[in-house]
Amino acid sequence: MTGIAPRPSQSLIGRLVTSNVGSMITLAVLFAVAIVVPLLNMATPVDSPIHVPNYMLSLLGKYLCFALLALSVDLIWGYCGILSLGHGAFFALGGYAMGMYMMRQIGDRGVYGNPELPDFMVFLNWQELPWYWYGFDNFFFAMVMVALVPGILAFAFGWFAFRSRVTGVYLSIISQAMTYALMLAFFRNDMGFGGNNGLTDFKDILGFDLQADGTRAGLFVASALALITAYLVCRYLVTSRLGKVLVAIRDAENRARFIGYRVEYYRLFVFILSAVMAGIAGALYVPQVGIINPSEFTPANSIEIVIWVAVGGRGTLHGAILGAFMVNYAKSYLTGAMPEVWLFALGGLFIFVTLFMPKGVVGLVAKGSQQWQLRRRSARDLRAESDLRSEGAK
Amino acid sequence: MTRAKPELHDTILYVDGVSVSFDGFKALNNLSLYILAGELRAIIGPNGAGKTTMMDVVTGKTRPDTGDVIFNGGTDLTRMDEARIANLGIGRKFQKPTVFESQTVYDNLELALAGNRNVFSSLVFKLNGQQRDRIDEVFETISLSADRDRLAGDLSHGQKQWLEIGMLLMQDPELLLVDEPVAGMTDAETEQTAELLKSIAKSHSVVVVEHDMTFVRALAAHVTVLHEGSVLAEGTLDAVQNNEQVIEVYLGR
């Protein structure tokens, strides 16, 4: 990553937006998607050729959440060399926090009609709401928890791991163990999060019916805006001195330490930030798919996120977004058309990318355009040379 | 042979009675070493003499089992971590050149610039004119001005060594520990490096670990010979080269 040296005179907007072609394109596309897709869904008749059907809107909305999740992984993996194979855990925790809010919103409209307790608690014969469900009927409190719970877990995990200088493959393994342990815990009925069924049957969010077209479009726009904001925040980080320190830590941890940087604090900071981003992605995801259950914690999910980032291009930010869209589109298509092929395709894709496209699609495009420019330049030079020669011949 | 023990307040680095063992192997054995403020000192010794372990102890990478390591006449280093010691004013160059390869030469120097190393201040950090001048000054010193926009990874081996020395200078340390700076360098580069270190030594205290005797001679520094984790001899290069014990250690028993 070399494009991270901003000219000192540049304004903040210049630094975030125009200093990099990839980021210009990314932001333009994301803004366009945020406006055009919901518009085509809401304002065009169903039989119109440009109509975006509901299923497509929620599919794209899901992809936006995945892109945010991929962005969070790219920030720590691409820029700081922390390969987390458990980032799905933060996503799921954010999702659960949102799910708890929506469970409480159901009120007495559940199957058992209990105004206090969600259905699964009535079913388990629980008499009262566990303390850790308190406050989740309040939207604002739930949103704080969406960020706080993944943030605190990331802090606890990172504090011990980074201070003990656990890095590389060891860190990847314990991050995977973390999400696996959480999965087992959330599968238990007596944890109070609905066991293997998780939380579902949501009715509304902030009083808006989740099945209504307007709500769906609203959630879509919210996801797009969250992604854009997170992207700008990440761009700011990686173009600041902090970004340079992160790359320095990634490439030569000891050098960074011996010139006086507290490596563990830098790691901890981005790790927490990344976990919060993943939590927000999960919180936006759950109302759009209508369910959150412990399968979101499976280690395979977390590995898939890493593959999105690798395919798109690690350490570029926009590559992560692109990769999330590409791989998930392929997944949607293949699991529909040839479901038995999907996992083989995913595994093959990862091997292919690792071997032949170490910088992902973005790296490939960058290399292609560089070569094209080089060829054009040498062609121009050749022409100039022959012009010179013909002139000399006169 | 060893000089008299100087007063603590005259020293920049005071290593006294330090022992370190790894799984029963004594890497440092009651090592005592005193570097005076402003001194240029060369440390030589056969493989396994404890030169790198000595640097590890001083820079906080390894904790000594016993002994004192005191910086600048009063600061105990044995309980501090690497970053803290670096910020106190001790710079260390590794044996293998270690620079931030995927960043430009300029960014490498900028990252090493002395100042607040706090996470949050790095978020809003901006170079000011004075700091830019300082970077330019160091570029002159290490003769890499023409390469400032290149990636550090594209530099030659010798240039990387200089860049790393430049990064140490950016830290503005009082004491520089330099581990085998001329390993793998051409003769011309070696000569240039000796000049560079001598000029740095005019305003800093410098400790150089080196195998290359021509280089040590070019430095014209006071020499300490380490052997099996403690000081075997100390003096001018000629004196130690004629020392019976040193000859025995180097030529084999």
Interface contact A260-B99, CB threshold 8 A: no
Residues of chain A with C-beta less than 8 angstroms from the C-beta of B129: none
Interface contact B119-A242, CB threshold 8 A: yes
Do A391 and A250 fall into the same domain? no
| Nearest-angstrom CA–CA distance, A21 and B76 | 51
**Nearest CB to A1 within list B92, B102, B122:** B102
Closest CA to A145 of A110, A84, A104: A104
Question: What residues make up the domain containing B38?
Answer: 8-251
pLDDT of residue B252: 64
Searching chain B, which residue's CA lies closest to the CA of residue A266? B119
- Nearest CA-CA distance, residue B249 and chain A, Å: 33
Do A232 and A371 fall into the same domain? no
CB neighbours (10 Å) of residue A27?
Answer: 18
pLDDT of residue A10: 61
The ipTM is 0.91
Residues of chain B with C-beta less than 8 angstroms from the C-beta of A242: 119, 122-123, 125
Segment A230-247, tens digit of pLDDT: 999 999 999 999 999 999
Q: Are A243 and A237 in contact (CB under 8 A)?
A: yes
Interface contact A259-B119, CB threshold 8 A: no
Q: Are A42 and A217 in contact (CB under 8 A)?
A: yes
Q: In this structure, is residue A138 part of a structural domain?
A: yes
Six token digits for residue A230: 């997170």
**Nearest CB to B100 within list A8, A241, A248:** A248
Cα angle B161, B37, B19; round to 5: 75
**Nearest CB to A242 within list B102, B112, B122:** B122
Q: In this structure, is residue B3 part of a structural domain?
A: no
Residue B8 pLDDT exceeds 90 = no
Segment A207-219, tens digit of pLDDT: 999 999 999 999 9
Q: In this structure, is residue A378 part of a structural domain?
A: yes
Average pLDDT over residues A304-320: 95
Q: In this structure, is residue B224 part of a structural domain?
A: yes
Average pLDDT over residues B52-68: 93
Give the phi and the psi of residue A214 in degrees, each rounded to 5. -65, -40
Q: In this structure, is residue B2 part of a structural domain?
A: no
Q: Are A97 and A142 in contact (CB under 8 A)?
A: yes
Do A325 and A366 fall into the same domain? no
Q: Find all residues with CB under 8 Å of A353, minimum gap 6, and list them.
A: A307, A310, A311, A360
Residue B253 pLDDT exceeds 60 = no
| Nearest-angstrom CA–CA distance, B2 and A362 | 62
Searching chain B, which residue's CA lies closest to the CA of residue A1? B102
Give the residue from B99, B113, B122, B149 with the most A CB atoms within 10 Å of its CB, the best one to mutate. B122
- For residue A289, name the pLDDT band (cuts at 50, 70, 90): very high
Give the phi and the psi of residue B224 in degrees, each rounded to 5. -115, 130
Based on the number of CB atoms within 10 Å of its own CB, is A200 exposed (0-12), middle (13-18) or buried (19 or more)? middle
Question: Is A9 an interface residue toward B (CB < 8 Å)?
Answer: no
Average pLDDT over residues B23-37: 91
B125-138 b/e (C-beta count within 10 Å ≥ 16 → b):
beeeeebeebbeeb
Six token digits for residue A349: 């894709």
Q: In this structure, is residue B213 part of a structural domain?
A: yes
| Nearest-angstrom CA–CA distance, B96 and B91 | 15
Q: Give the number of domains in chain B.
A: 1
Q: Are A103 and A293 in contact (CB under 8 A)?
A: no
Residues of chain B with C-beta less than 8 angstroms from the C-beta of A240: 122-125
- Nearest CA-CA distance, residue A243 and chain B, Å: 8
DSSP structural state of residue B116: -
Q: In this structure, is residue A337 part of a structural domain?
A: yes
Question: What residues make up the domain containing A107?
Answer: 12-346
Interface contact A255-B98, CB threshold 8 A: yes
Residue A7 pLDDT exceeds 60 = no
Do A317 and A187 fall into the same domain? yes
Domain of B239, CATH number, reads: 3.40.50.300
Q: In this structure, is residue A205 part of a structural domain?
A: yes
Q: In this structure, is residue B233 part of a structural domain?
A: yes
Interface contact B112-A259, CB threshold 8 A: yes
Q: Would the CA dihedral through A95, A99, A102, A104 be positive or negative?
A: negative
Question: Is A263 an interface residue toward B (CB < 8 Å)?
Answer: yes
**Nearest CB to A265 within list B91, B119, B164:** B119
Q: In this structure, is residue A333 part of a structural domain?
A: yes
Average pLDDT over residues A285-297: 96
Question: Is A394 an interface residue toward B (CB < 8 Å)?
Answer: no
Q: Are B14 and B73 in contact (CB under 8 A)?
A: yes
- For residue A4, name the pLDDT band (cuts at 50, 70, 90): very low
Expressed in percent and rounded to 5, the helix, strand and coil fractions of chain B are: 40, 25, 35
Do A292 and A364 fall into the same domain? no
Residues of chain B with C-beta less than 8 angstroms from the C-beta of A80: none
pLDDT of residue B173: 93
pLDDT, greater one: A392 or A384? A384
Q: Give the count of Cβ contacts less than 8 A between chain A and B.
A: 85
Residue B75 pLDDT exceeds 70 = yes
Interface contact B86-A263, CB threshold 8 A: no
- Nearest CA-CA distance, residue A245 and chain B, Å: 7
Q: Find all residues with CB under 8 Å of B65, minimum gap 6, and list them.
A: B19, B20, B21
Q: In this structure, is residue B200 part of a structural domain?
A: yes
Average pLDDT over residues A45-57: 91
Searching chain B, which residue's CA lies closest to the CA of residue A233? B123
Residues of chain A with C-beta less than 8 angstroms from the C-beta of B111: 241, 244-245, 248, 256, 259
Give the residue from B95, B101, B117, B121 with the most A CB atoms within 10 Å of its CB, the best one to mutate. B117
Segment A90-146, tens digit of pLDDT: 999 999 999 999 999 999 999 998 988 999 999 999 999 999 999 999 999 999 999
Q: In this structure, is residue A169 part of a structural domain?
A: yes
Ranges of H-type helices in A124-167? 139-163
Average pLDDT over residues B202-218: 90
Q: In this structure, is residue B68 part of a structural domain?
A: yes
Which stretch of A2-6, A193-197, A221-225, A370-374 has the lowest confidence by average pLDDT?
A2-6
**Nearest CB to B111 within list A244, A257, A265:** A244
Q: In this structure, is residue A351 part of a structural domain?
A: no
- A 228-247 → B contacts, CB under 8 A: 237, 240-242, 244-245, 247
Searching chain A, which residue's CA lies closest to the CA of residue B59? A258
Q: Find all residues with CB under 8 Å of B169, minimum gap 6, and list them.
A: B91, B138, B141, B142, B200
Searching chain B, which residue's CA lies closest to the CA of residue A240? B123
Residue B199 pLDDT exceeds 60 = yes
Interface contact A261-B117, CB threshold 8 A: yes
Q: Give the number of domains in chain A.
A: 2
Residues of chain A with C-beta less than 8 angstroms from the C-beta of B102: 1-2, 247, 251
Residues of chain A with C-beta less than 8 angstroms from the C-beta of B166: none
Interface contact B122-A8, CB threshold 8 A: no
Interface contact A259-B111, CB threshold 8 A: yes
Do A86 and A120 fall into the same domain? yes
- Nearest CA-CA distance, residue B209 and chain A, Å: 17
- A 265-304 → B contacts, CB under 8 A: 265-266, 269
| Nearest-angstrom CA–CA distance, A274 and A269 | 9
Q: In this structure, is residue A353 part of a structural domain?
A: no
pLDDT of residue B3: 58
